Amino acid sequence: METVKRTIGVNIDPDGEFNALIWAPNAGRVSLRVCAGRIDLPMQKQDYGYWALKTDQLKDGDLYRIVLDDDKFLPDPSSLSQPKGVHEASQVIDLNAFAWTDEHWKNWHLNEYIIYELHTGTFTPEGTFEAIEGKLDYLKNLGITAIEIMPVAQFAGERNWGYDGVYPFAVQSSYGGPKALQHLVNTCHQKGIAVVLDVVYNHIGPEGNYFSEYGPYFTDKYNTPWGNAINFDDAWCDAVRQYYIENALMWFRDFHIDALRLDAVHAIKDFSPQHILAEIKEHVDHLIKETGRPHHLIIECDLNDTRYINPLDKAGFGMDAQWIDEFHHALRVTAGGERDGYYEDFHGIEHLAKTYNDAYVYDGQYSAHRHKNFGVKATDNPGNQFIVFSQNHDQIGNRMLGERSSQLFSFEMQKLMAAATLIAPFIPMLFMGEEWGEPNPFQYFVSHTDPELAEAVRKGRKAEFAAFHAEGEAPDPMDEQTFIQSKLQWQLKDKGQHQTMFAYYKKLIKLRQYLPVIHNLNRNQVKADADKDKQMLTLQRWYQGDYLVALMNFSNTVQQTTLPHTDKKWIKQLDSADPEWGGPKESPNSFLSEAIIELQPQAVIIYCIG
């Protein structure tokens, strides 16, 4: 395997000379136009559809375009910066110019990850990378060890979730661009916080998408929800595969990103002998060997297929961890959430117990929603391969009104759901603002400049909610107010119940970090039992002589139960019903074995052996 470096696009050599490499197999002539002075630099044809240029007529910050056949003046598909938007000229960026000071930083092991998902544009009033830096001490105080940034690849306009990006290598200019992202990562590392970046390798957004002008980046062999699939296994696919391999490597090597979260990999269509994910993994492993810096690959996958997370030497794709939406779905149905749409497959507390025990809810049985048997067992996959949450951008934003849990569930139930997530034998993830019960929604927003595309998005959003909502209108994604009302209200976190909720989350995270029995993610030391009639779940975990039991009452009435037998005393670690956390009644601090315990409605009590 060759030395790891970026080869495509415009790059600078250590000697100060610029190299350009463009893939345009259908073009008869290709040149690079330096916008200042309108200088056209002819490129030389290479093998496999590439065109190359070595020049000293470029400098850091220059604007340029790629000219195909003398009449198509286009942005560079491998552009590192689009300061004037998706339709305008690309910008030369020297990624090696940043002065890193994180040489002593070492990425956390996945066991140590407590992830905080955020959207750059709505996390702060300013909506920039620089503004995120101002909140890092707050996140450190909360106990967060990793932030996960929703996609930053350049998209049309200034408002977007990020999944409509059209320049996978370019960092969104309205957030601050590539140098500001490097600065943010460097600052995170100085404060002991890892950075996960969400990337999209399953499709490319619509506006500003000039890829087909260059070559067969897409194939009509397969369809995806966003149109023709990216060409990972059809004719000319080698260059497309190299494009995405280099993208993953760039984030790790040049931006010092600690982990990538790969969006919806089930929508990646690839029947090559080696799946593109496995090839990315091989190259990332090579980079790790060269640099000594560990990196993680995390996927969103809707297939309950362990091939994705099994190691390469066991015929897997080698991904390190995956999101499991099924934990979220089972938890929300147990908490009293709706049962329509994809929630129809989830039977509440029994399925919540199953996901604690088995990770996947569906691991081979019949799925009514899919009308088929679904999933495989994940018996041999450790807890640190699964990321769980009670909220995330999809599960909030894909509701018609974008309501958070704070608007759908009681204060007591929110605390119970938080504990259910943070004491799970998996990696926990919070969505920005949930730790203080942020009431503002997180809605879907875009800022397309194409009127027809904007109208298509409006109609698409309305159609998407047919299975979920019988009445009402979806907020207009193009309206700036939809974006503004999705911003966090930081002034609330120190007020009333919001302040109480924040202190409660902080306590839960501290317990997870300092109690080995929670911190350990050995799935063989977990047992969850559900009482459907009482709507109670008992979660037991043990580790090297330590023992924990969490009693969860999802019902609206007081319930009684007993603790497992032991010759030692049970000591209370947390009681969500304690008035300290705004609850109705405190439970005793300790119990002897088999004593009767009274649980308040919608409450959780955590005991450990003392």
Q: Distance between terminal CA atoms of the chain?
A: 54
Mean of the per-residue pLDDT values for the chain? 95
Q: Is 327 annotated as a binding residue?
A: yes
304 is in an annotated binding site: no
Whole-model pTM over 0.85: yes
Which of 295, 311, 327 is at the close of a domain? 311
Instruction: Indicate which residues carry an active-site annotation.
Output: 263, 300
For 531, the domain range is 526-609
Domain presence at residue 297: yes
Is 239 labeled as ligand-binding? no
Pinpoint the alpha helices (H) of 337-488: 349-358, 393-397, 405-408, 411-422, 451-464, 480-484
Encode pLDDT of 124-146 as tens digits: 999 999 999 999 999 999 999 99
Amino acid at 257: I
Would you state the pLDDT for residue 565?
76
549: annotated binding-site residue? Answer: no
pLDDT of residue 25: 97
Three-class secondary structure of residue 591 per DSSP: strand
447 domain-assigned: no
Residue 394 has pLDDT above 80, yes or no: yes
8 A C-beta contact, residue 421 and residue 413: no
Region of residue 542 (left: phi > 0; alpha: psi -120 to 50; beta: else): beta
Average pLDDT over residues 68-76: 97
What contacts 191, CB < 8 A, 6 or more positions away?
136, 137, 140
Q: How far is CA 137 from CA 11, 140, 179, 467, 495, in A?
A: 35, 5, 21, 42, 19
Residue that is last in its domain, among 285, 311, 337: 311
Q: Is 203 annotated as a binding residue?
A: no
At residue 252, what is the residue type? F
234 has a pLDDT exceeding 90: yes
β pairing state of 218-224 and 227-230: antiparallel
On whether 238 is known to bind a ligand per the annotation, the reply is no
Residues 6 or more apart in contact with residue 451 via CB below 8 angstroms: none
Task: Establish if 331 belongs to a structural domain.
Answer: no
Tens-digit pLDDT profile for residues 423-461: 999 999 999 999 999 999 999 999 998 888 888 777 777
Domain count, the chain: 2
* Assigned domain for 347 exists: no
DSSP letter, residue 251: H
- Could you give the angle at the alpha carbon of 516 between the alpha carbons of 515 and 520, nearest 5°? 130
Among candidate residues 260, 293, 311, the one where a domain is terminated: 311
- Residue 219, pLDDT > 70, answer yes
Residue 261 annotated as binding site: yes
Paired strand residues for 296: 259
Three-state SS annotation for 148-198: EECCCEECCCCCCCCCCCCEEEEECHHHCHHHHHHHHHHHHHHCCCEEEEE
- Beta-sheet strands, E only, within 425-545: 427-431, 526-531, 536-543
Please list, in sequence order, all residues whose beta carbon lies within 8 angstroms of the beta carbon of residue 247, skipping any fewer than 6 positions away.
168, 169, 199, 201
Give the CATH number for residue 585: 2.60.40.1180
Assess whether pLDDT exceeds 80 at residue 1. no
pLDDT digits over 521-553, tens only? 999 999 999 999 999 999 999 999 899 999 999
Contact 68, 74 (CB under 8 A): yes
* Gap between the Cα atoms of 400 and 407, Å rounded: 13
Report the CATH number that the domain containing residue 223 is assigned in CATH. Answer: 3.20.20.80
> 395 labelled as ligand-binding?
yes
Answer yes or no: is 266 a known binding residue. Answer: yes
Binding residue per annotation — 397?
yes
What is the C-alpha to C-alpha distance for residues 105 and 114, in angstroms, rounded to an integer? 17
Q: Is 27 annotated as a binding residue?
A: no
- For 290-308, write each residue's pLDDT tens digit: 999 999 999 999 999 999 9
The fraction of the chain above a pLDDT of 90, given in percent, is: 88
| 213 in a structural domain | yes
Q: Is residue 118 part of a domain?
A: yes
Q: Is residue 440 part of a domain?
A: no
Look at residue 50 and tell me if it is in a domain. yes
